[in-house]
Structures are given as structure tokens and as C-alpha cells.
Structure 1
Amino acid sequence: MMALELGDDIIVIDTGLMFPDEEMLGIDLVIPDITYLKERRRSVRAILMTHGHEDHVGALPYVLRDLPDVPVYGTKLTLGLIRTKLKEHRLAERTKLLEIVTGRPFTVGPFEANAYDVCHSIPDAVGFTIDTSYGTIVHSGDWKFDHTPVDGRQTDFARLSAIAAKGVLLLLSDSTRAETAGYTPSERHVGEILEGIMARASGRFITTTFASNISRIKQIVDIAAAWGRKTAIIGRSMENYTRTARELGYFDVPAGSLVHPGEIGKLPDDQICIITTGSQGEPTSALSRMALGDHRHVAVKEGDTVVMSSSPIPGNEELVTRTVDNLFKLGAEVVYEPHTRPHVSGHASQEELKLLLNILRPMHFVPIHGEYRMLVRHARLAIDLGVAPERAFVMTNGDVLRFDEKGARLDARVHSGQVYVDGLGVGDVTQSVMRDRWSIGSDGIFLIVLSIDRQTGQVVAGPDIVTKGFVPEEDAADLIEGSKQRIADGLRQAQTGEHLAEVSALRDEIHATVSSYLYERTKRRPMVIPVLMQL
């Protein structure tokens, strides 16, 4: 997510989300903290969407809850995918969605915007030019230079040249593959590899890729049809993406080439192709359930060929490896190694990044969309190609780049961060809650319940102790008895004198005493929770 602000007017480009890493226990999604925009909600004029991937549109339903009257601009397919998402959140009817066409300018407040075609792993992706009183800003979106794209729509070199002729004040460019030398191969290369694998498959052909990779899915369906195979698409997100793309004319496949998953068992194995979700080893995905023998339509068996047509996102390697192991255990032949799996990225590599910089020749440069090291590498490429070092800015979340009559400089940071989505809760899971979850998950819980007389301070019931995830049940009895003794000793010390100790003081004393005792005995730190009731 990026905001451009001119005077009292703000436009936002993309509203993506992140998926939680393994340390974010119980978290479903991670979305940007938009406090800065909420405080200026009357100034937000529009949200511009570059394409329909989750890391660019996924947070939109949550953003629109706080910015309900802001119109959303995007291309036909992007808006179609957004509309499906907003229906799930019951926001579709009240959200203003405005379709844009590349090469046709539109005005938002003081900004004149225009979109240009870029090639990516989803159709209808665009970059934006934003004309301001200070000059033209170019936002690349996610892109690569593919001269033989499956859908026939290349990144628009002619438009880029025309943009360069006017002069570019600032280029914001995708940095995902800034560490990768050379050029990113064409998506058509994937089809050649897939066809070779399918030609050797004697049984069912099962493949997984990202649900939003419409071009890849279309290639697989076309190749399968050429080899006399019917294709079943499995996985709710993939079914939604392909259904929307088909309704809007972006997923034209041979007549009769698709079958319902329920029809798989009625066809010979050598006439079936299955495209499924689960490329990242997600535990609840269709492929993971197939690998565990827990899917209602598909049970992986000996003779099946399973193709991993994607690369693991950093952090997902263990999940993918586990899925691959389970598939091998069921007797399947799995194509998963980097040099054999049919996959190419949708992002530009170093030589393409250099070419874009050489075409546009921007005065200022900001690398976007990547890990910090990728941003640094991309900035160094720009400097090598002539951007002045003082005009190449590596920015992190919350940084502000200010333009005025003196030029460009980094200004005071604004509030930013991450918001956790857990079930129906948005933002109610704080860092302290996450720490508690980690404590319980790593060392378990030690719950102490006792009742005390309100007048005398004497224990009238308990302490009763329940422990979970701490030590085996057979080893807990001795620790529980020792803890009870420590609690009794601690209460006697706390209650000496004329005045009874406050309940909060007793609770703190029990927590400290028991925590110290348990660490002394086990070198572990379970979450100790004293519950005191006054009678």
C-alpha cells in the first residue's frame, strides 16, 4: 500500500495483505495499519489497483470499513475479482467500483492518472502514471518483460517511451527479483515443460499452482485437452478466480475440457488432469488434504504424477516439503525440484529492471515491493544507471518522501504498522496477546485456582492446579504438590501484620513464587495464571 498526497488530497495505490508466518499463532491475515488515512479520511479521493493478487487487493474489504465512501479504480478483471471478494464481506453494493482502460486518462482531485499494460502472472495487470504539479510519478505495479505472453499482452514499450519523453519525476518499481541476474523466462516456457511431463504421465496428472495464476491454469487446461484429458479445478479460491475470469472473457478454454471434481472417478486415469490449490503446503488446502488421504474427491495413489508448478514462498519451505513427502508415501511421482518443476516468476529480473530504468530515465527513484535487501540491490542498480545517489531512496513502512521547491527528501515518519486479523477480530490481537500465545505454545500453562475468605484472608478452597502442555501428566503430581506448598508459604508471608493484603498483591506473590519454583525445578517458564476468588 502506498499513498500519494498533494495538498489536501490523497490517493492510495493498492491495499494488499500478508499471510501470517509461523510465529503468528492463530492469525489468519495481516493487513496494513491505516491510522494515518483514517485521520485524514475526508482527504482520501481514490484507491487505485494495479492487479488482482491478494498481496495487492486482499486488505481492501478491511480498508473500506474505515473508508467507506472512497471509489476504487481498476481494470475489468481486477474489479471482477474485487467484486467477488467484497460480496463475501457484504460490501459490494455500497462500494463504488470504477473501471479503467489503459491509455485513457482519468482525473482524481488534482491528480491526472493513466494506466499502461504490464505483463505479470495474472491478466489485466497495469502500471500507473500520476501527473502532478511537480511532475510525473510512475508506479510500475508488478511486472516483467515477457515477449511471448500467454494472453498476448506485453508490457507496453510504446507507452513507456511516450512517458519517458515527457520526463519522469519519480519511478516506483517492483523489486521482488532485484537479486536475480539476467532475464525472467517467458510464461510460455512453462507450457513446454508441462507438456513434456504430461506426455510421460501414464496415470492421473495432478498439478498445483497459485489460485490467481490464470495464465498458468489456462495453459494447463489447453495442454491437457490436446492430450485427451479432461480437467477438474479443485480449491475454493481457484474456483472463484477461474469462474470470474471466465465470466469476464479472460479464461477461454476448449469446449468440454472442464469437468466437475465429482466426475473424476468416472473417467480413466489417463484421461484426467487435476489443478488444485496447495502450492505452498497450506495445511487446509486441497493438495495437503489429498496428501493425507482426506479429500472427498481425490485420493492420491500409485501411478499419479503430481507437479508443483510454483516456488515456495520464503517461510513455507517446511510445509511444502511435508506435503511432497506425504505424496511420495502414497506412491505418487512428484515433480518438485527447482530445476525440473515448471515455474517462472511474474516479476522482472535485473536486466529487465535495468531496461525499464534506461527507458524512463527518472530523476528520482524508490524501489518498492520486496525485502529490504532487495530494495537496496535495486537502488544500487538505479545508481549504476545514472540516478544520483542522493535521489535514490530506500524506504520502509511509515517513511515519507517529500517533494517541494528544494527537491526531494525524507521527512518525518508517520504512524504505520501491521494489524492482525483473527477470525472476526480485526486489530484486537496485540503484541502482548501474541506473546501470551507464544508462551503457552512453547512452555504450556499452569493454572492455579483458590478461594479466600474476604474477612480473614484465609484459604477456604484450593489451591486447585491444572497444567496443560507443560510436563507429562505422570510427572506433574510432584510439581503440583511442591507448588501448593510454595503457595501456602507465600500467602502466610503476605498476610502477616494488621492489614490484609490486597487480592492483586496476593496474585502477584503467587505468580512470582510459583514461576520461580517451576523454573528452579524444570528450567521452563510456563504461563502461570493465578485465579483468586473472594468469598
Structure 2
Amino acid sequence: MSTDFSQRPGQPPALEPGTLRVIPLGGLGDVGRNMTVLEFEGRLLIIDCGVMFPEESQPGVDLILPDFDIIADRLDDVEAIVLTHGHEDHIGAVPYLLRRRPDIPLVGSQLTLAFLEAKLKEHRIRPVTTVVAEGQQQSFGPFDCEFVAVNHSIPDALAVHVTTAAGTVLHTGDFKMDQLPLDGRITDLRAFARLGEAGVDLFMTDSTNAEVPGFTVGEQEIGPALDSIFARATQKIVVASFASHVHRVQQVLDSAAAHGRKVAFVGRSMVRNMGIASELGYLDVPADTVIDVKQIDSLPDDQVVLMCTGSQGEPMAALGRIANRDHRVSVGPGDVVILASSLIPGNENAVYGVVNGLMALGAEVVHKGNAEVHTSGHASAGELLYCYNIVRPRNVMPIHGEVRHLIANGKLAEATGVPRERIVLARDGHVVDLQDGIATVVGAVPSEYVYVDGSSVGQISESDLKDRRILGDEGFISLFAVVSSETGALIAGPEIHARGVAEDTAVFEKIRPELVSALANAIAEQADRRDTHQLQQVMRRVVGRYVGQRLRRRPMIIPLVIES
């Protein structure tokens, strides 16, 4: 097990006969955009295809996708996309892949496919789907798959055991080992043990909570904490959660019914997903408890609960808009806002910004940091140790997490006796070959971030984001001048227009004489030829030097010189 990620492997060799190739295209090094490609005998099986949400350093970006380029010209080789559960970081990128080949079979549990089909309908894609359940076995080309029940923060999650002639892979998806789950559906450790006895060549395990000691708090322990808040609240209650967190919504519904409150779902994805969950029987809605959000105006505040999206500080989600007073729902003194979610790494500033906005309006904000109102959906270190001891895999490949999570997970595997050289610490794009029972990193393929910005997919580059960061942090200066096409003399300008650089634009009057002089000298040196590009560069250098030295800023500077 090497923890040195500084060296990226070279181009992978051609796949040898009898070898199973594993290529993670997302989820290894980041929290999100989970996707793994298995290749055997020229055929491909994809496990999960999710998105990642942007951070502050990616302004204007809506979503981040895995890089599909490595399989773009091999989509006809894809047997199926197996989906472990219905969270966005595992299913959100499916519509973008199906745009390239709409008939790729989608395989998953009933709830997972129901959530995905609703999303695909918005993209006007009619998918080919296969519903599977725990204990079921099904083959897709050379990949024989068995599905295993796992417990997570969303119902109907599955692990998948893949058997090929080259060896076996057990992919956990996201999971934990809650022994008293709300739906009574526990992680099937008996199946894990049975598969382990038969021999698991590569165990791909969720790493998200590998640094957290002990066991993840059970979902049942959250109910009393929520109930106590409902009991003492005297006005409106707003609960923010992921739009797919059916278990948390169930607890909110139960507490609301017990305290004589009505619940309104706020946010399109929340309304859609809870409608699906209720229709399929995954959500038990107490009678006369759920109302339309338009009805809250006719009820006193002490009878209202709003269940909304935006727990990660998303500015356009319901909670962010409420905090910014840009929503039909308002909060004020006496209202209670509950953030029923964990912080996704990278979202801290956005979440605390929303919290501060809500508190500035007078609301009380309850979150995981000050009350037991949420628990993770991922296995902590103690649970992972149990799994390693039960499965006894020949090779381990930690997945789903940042680098620190992957390394911590690898150390847990080593502590249970997995040989150090059999622990594969890989990153997105690393190519891992399983041959003769040994898993080895043999190379790497490109696996870049693919940005979705409005209707554009993959057209935004890192250079574009750098420009946006400069515009947001340092401001913008435009320079304009007109020179004579006959004599070359400066006949208009230079004009200086600045945005977000200085409060008083008069500061630029000091540089104008130097700018005029520099242009005159440059024009004189040009003699009979006219090079407006050179004149633009002169303007950029003079103003850039002045702004850097006097204002300590490095704004984007756009000069324009035209002939007249």
C-alpha cells in the first residue's frame, strides 16, 4: 500500500486475456461523481454514474460530471449501468451518459430506478430499465452479478458482487451497519460472509467515514432529538435535508403528526421524490399531515412544518432563498430551522453563510454541531473492521472518499491482516488489473472534471474558472482608445472603466497621463505600420503595474484599441 499520490502512472498496457480491469472515473479523491468501469473480454460494466456539486472555487458551475472520454467510443460495449442507490452522487450523471447512447440498460432497485426515471423524464429520455432486489442474481454479458442488501441513508440500497472468469469483485456502494434501521432492512452480513467464504478477490469499500472511530449512530436515535425540538417549538419549524433522505422525512412526518402540525414539502426535487417514495410504499404519510405549501398562509405558525432542500448551502435551493429573503416562505424570531444533514467537505462556507443569514433574521438554527438531529449514512471504522474480518478479501481497494479517507480505510484493512501489498490505493483514472488473484495499478487514463454550466456540458475549462475567480475576487478593468488610421495619432481616449476594483474611480486619473505618454511613445516607434495589438499590450502593462503597486489588486484587464 503506497500512500504517495504525487506520481501518476503512465499509459496502461493493452488488457491481457483473462484479466479483469477496474477503472474508477470518479469518487476516489473527492466526495461525489462516483463511477467505476469494469472491463472483461472486451465488454464493459459500469457501477454508478454520479455527479459532484461545485465548490466556491468553481463559480457559475451547476454540476461536475465524471469524464466519459475513455469510454466515449466504446459505448456499444457497455452491457449495463448498475446503480447501488438513488443519491445524486451515484445517479446524477446518468442522463448525460444516456445522451450518448440512450438504450444502455439501467439496473437498480425499485426506488433507485423510480428516482432516476423521474429525472430522465425531465431530460426527455426513455430508459431501458431492469429492477433487481437483494438476493437476486443476473448476468450482463460476461459479468454475473449478485445483489446484496445494505443499509444507508436512503432505502433500497444495494451492494453488488460481480463474478467473472478472472475473479470476483464485491462493491459495497455507500453503506453502514445500523442494527435498528427505520425500515428494518439491515446490511446483509450473512451474504458478505458467504461471499467471503467463496472468495472475494477485490473488495471495494466505502471510505467516507473511515477516519471516524467506533460505529455510526443509528437512525432511531435521531427521532427523540427531533421530537424534543417539536415539543418546545412555539412557532414555525423548517427542516432542511437532502431531497432523497426518505428516512429523515419519515421522522419529521411522525413528529409533526404527534404534535398536531402540518407538513409542506418545499423544493421541486423534494416534492417529486417524496411523492415517489410515498406512492411506492417507502414513506408512510400519516393521515391529514401533508399539505400544499400554498396552504401554510391559512394556518398559525405553531401548526406548520416546512420540509425543504438546501441543507448544503446551495444558493438556489429553498433554504438558501429563505435566508436571502427571496422565497415565499419567511422566517423570523421564534422560528426554528433544523439542518438535518452532514456537511459535505467543501460546502462549509456556503452552509455557514446560510446559517448566519437565518440567524440574522432571528431564527434559531439547530444542526448536527449542536444537537443530535442527523446521523451519517456511512460505516465508521468499527463497522469497516467488522466487514474486513467477515469478508477476508484477497485484495482491497478503498473507494468513495477524499485521499485522507482512502488512506484511513487502507490502514483499517491492513490492521485486519490484509497484506500491505494487496491494498490498492488508487485515484480517479487509475487503471487496476486483477490477474491471477492479484490487483495492481498498471497505468492511468485521463479523468478530468467535466463541468455543466447551464445548457453547456464540458465547454467550461479550468482557464474559464480562473477568469471567473479573478472577476469575482479582483474585479474588471476595460481600457479603450482610438487611433487615426492615417497618422496613427491618438484621437480618443484612453478611457478607463473599472468594476469591483476600487470604490472611487478617480484613482485611475493618476495613471491617465502615464498611459497617454506610453501610447504616444509606442505609436511613434511604429512609424508607418499600425499594430493595435501591441498598443493594447502597452495599455495592459501600464495599468496592470499601477493597479498592482498602488491598489494591491490583480484584476482582469481587457484593452481595446481601434483605428478610425
Taking structure 1 as the reference length, the TM-score comes to: 0.94
Between 1 and 2, higher relative CO (CA 8 Å, sep ≥ 6) is seen in: 2
Provide closer, same or farther for how the CA distance between residues 503 and 488 of structure 1 changes in structure 2, counting only shifts above 3 A: closer
Amino acid at match of 2:373: P
Secondary structure at the aligned position of 2:342 is classed as coil
Moved more, 509-518 or 255-264: 509-518
Q: Which residue of 2 aligns with 1:128?
A: 160
Provide closer, same or farther for how the CA distance between residues 402 and 493 of structure 1 changes in structure 2, counting only shifts above 3 A: farther
Q: Which residue of 1 aligns with 2:86?
A: 52
Q: Which residue of 2 aligns with 1:380?
A: 411
Q: Which residue of 2 aligns with 1:22?
A: 56
Equivalent residues of 1:419, 1:426 under 8 A apart:
yes
CA separation in 2, counterparts of 1:211 and 1:429?
A: 28
CA separation in 2, counterparts of 1:475 and 1:341?
A: 54
- Establish whether residue 43 from structure 1 lines up as the match of residue 74 from structure 2: no
Shift of 1:400: 0.8
Moved more, 323-332 or 418-427: 323-332
Amino acid at match of 1:386: G
Equivalent residues of 1:179, 1:350 under 8 A apart:
yes
Q: Which residue of 1 aligns with 2:122?
A: 88
- Establish whether residue 511 from structure 1 lines up as the match of residue 563 from structure 2: no
Q: Which residue of 1 aligns with 2:30?
A: none
Q: For residues 393-430 of structure 1, give each alpha carbon's deviation from its aligned partner in whole angstroms, at most 9, with x where no partner exists.
A: 11001101112248322111111110111111111111
Q: For residues 318-348 of structure 1, give each alpha carbon's deviation from its aligned partner in whole angstroms, at most 9, with x where no partner exists.
A: 3333333333333333323524141100000
Secondary structure at the aligned position of 1:143 is classed as coil
Structure 1 runs (4+) deviating above 6 angstroms are none
Q: Which residue of 1 aligns with 2:457?
A: 426
Secondary structure at the aligned position of 1:238 is classed as helix
CA separation in 1, counterparts of 2:478 and 2:198?
A: 69
Amino acid at match of 1:50: T
Moved more, 309-318 or 239-248: 309-318
Q: Which residue of 1 aligns with 2:23?
A: none
Secondary structure at the aligned position of 1:504 is classed as helix
Amino acid at match of 1:156: D
CA separation in 2, counterparts of 1:6 and 1:417?
A: 24
Amino acid at match of 1:28: D
Provide closer, same or farther for how the CA distance between residues 197 and 39 of structure 1 changes in structure 2, counting only shifts above 3 A: same
Output the aligned Cα RMSD.
1.9
CA separation in 1, counterparts of 2:352 and 2:183?
A: 32
Q: Which residue of 1 aligns with 2:332?
A: 301
Provide closer, same or farther for how the CA distance between residues 445 and 291 of structure 1 changes in structure 2, counting only shifts above 3 A: closer
Provide closer, same or farther for how the CA distance between residues 420 and 472 of structure 1 changes in structure 2, counting only shifts above 3 A: same
Q: Which residue of 2 aligns with 1:65?
A: 99
CA separation in 2, counterparts of 1:405 and 1:346?
A: 35
Written as runs of structure 1 = structure 2, the 5 A alignment for 1:455-494 is 456-479=487-510, 481-482=512-513, 484-494=515-525
Q: For residues 287-338 of structure 1, give each alpha carbon's deviation from its aligned partner in whole angstroms, at most 9, with x where no partner exists.
A: 2333344321x32133322222222222322333333333333333332352
Q: Which residue of 1 aligns with 2:308?
A: 276
Q: For residues 445-488 of structure 1, give each alpha carbon's deviation from its aligned partner in whole angstroms, at most 9, with x where no partner exists.
A: 12122333445444444333321111223434414524532442
Equivalent residues of 1:177, 1:350 under 8 A apart:
yes
Shift of 1:261: 1.0
Equivalent residues of 1:17, 1:56 under 8 A apart:
yes
Secondary structure at the aligned position of 1:435 is classed as helix
Shift of 1:210: 1.6
Q: Which residue of 2 aligns with 1:177?
A: 209
Provide closer, same or farther for how the CA distance between residues 327 and 530 of structure 1 changes in structure 2, counting only shifts above 3 A: closer
Q: Which residue, out of 303, 309, 312, partners 2:343?
A: 312
Provide closer, same or farther for how the CA distance between residues 182 and 486 of structure 1 changes in structure 2, counting only shifts above 3 A: farther
- Establish whether residue 139 from structure 1 lines up as the match of residue 141 from structure 2: no
Q: For residues 509-535 of structure 1, give each alpha carbon's deviation from its aligned partner in whole angstroms, at most 9, with x where no partner exists.
A: 333333234324333222111223344
CA separation in 2, counterparts of 1:45 and 1:482?
A: 69
Moved more, 310-319 or 204-213: 310-319
Q: Which residue of 2 aligns with 1:112?
A: 144
CA separation in 2, counterparts of 1:301 and 1:472?
A: 33
CA separation in 1, counterparts of 2:437 and 2:179?
A: 41
Q: Which residue, out of 426, 440, 443, partners 2:474?
A: 443
Secondary structure at the aligned position of 2:86 is classed as coil
Amino acid at match of 2:475: G
Shift of 1:434: 1.3
Equivalent residues of 1:207, 1:274 under 8 A apart:
yes
Q: Which residue of 2 aligns with 1:223?
A: 255
Equivalent residues of 1:487, 1:514 under 8 A apart:
no
- Establish whether residue 523 from structure 1 lines up as the match of residue 555 from structure 2: no
Q: Which residue, out of 264, 273, 287, partners 1:255?
A: 287
Secondary structure at the aligned position of 2:481 is classed as strand
Amino acid at match of 2:366: V
Q: Which residue, out of 175, 195, 202, partners 2:234?
A: 202
- Establish whether residue 157 from structure 1 lines up as the match of residue 189 from structure 2: yes
CA separation in 1, counterparts of 2:484 and 2:363?
A: 66
Shift of 1:213: 0.5
CA separation in 2, counterparts of 1:483 and 1:73?
A: 68
CA separation in 2, counterparts of 1:467 and 1:366?
A: 52
Q: Which residue of 2 aligns with 1:326?
A: 357
Moved more, 99-108 or 370-379: 99-108
CA separation in 2, counterparts of 1:410 and 1:455?
A: 66
Shift of 1:128: 0.3
Secondary structure at the aligned position of 2:322 is classed as helix
CA separation in 2, counterparts of 1:350 and 1:433?
A: 40
Q: For residues 106-149 of structure 1, give each alpha carbon's deviation from its aligned partner in whole angstroms, at most 9, with x where no partner exists.
A: 11111111211110011111110000112210000000001111
Q: Which residue, out of 241, 247, 266, partners 2:298?
A: 266
Written as runs of structure 1 = structure 2, the 5 A alignment for 1:403-422 is 403-405=434-436, 407-422=438-453
Q: For residues 265-306 of structure 1, give each alpha carbon's deviation from its aligned partner in whole angstroms, at most 9, with x where no partner exists.
A: 22233322221222122222222333344321x321333222
Provide closer, same or farther for how the CA distance between residues 394 and 129 of structure 1 changes in structure 2, counting only shifts above 3 A: same
Amino acid at match of 1:199: A
Q: For residues 37-77 of structure 1, give each alpha carbon's deviation from its aligned partner in whole angstroms, at most 9, with x where no partner exists.
A: 10322322211111110111111111222333321111111
Shift of 1:225: 0.8
Q: Where do 5+ consecutive residues of structure 1 fail to align?
A: none
Shift of 1:199: 1.6
Q: Which residue of 2 aligns with 1:533?
A: 562
Amino acid at match of 2:73: E
CA separation in 2, counterparts of 1:115 and 1:405?
A: 24
Secondary structure at the aligned position of 1:66 is classed as coil
CA separation in 2, counterparts of 1:483 and 1:77?
A: 68
Amino acid at match of 1:58: G
Shift of 1:158: 2.3
- Establish whether residue 212 from structure 1 lines up as the match of residue 241 from structure 2: no
CA separation in 2, counterparts of 1:28 and 1:490?
A: 47
- Establish whether residue 188 from structure 1 lines up as the match of residue 217 from structure 2: no
Provide closer, same or farther for how the CA distance between residues 359 and 494 of structure 1 changes in structure 2, counting only shifts above 3 A: farther
Shift of 1:361: 0.7
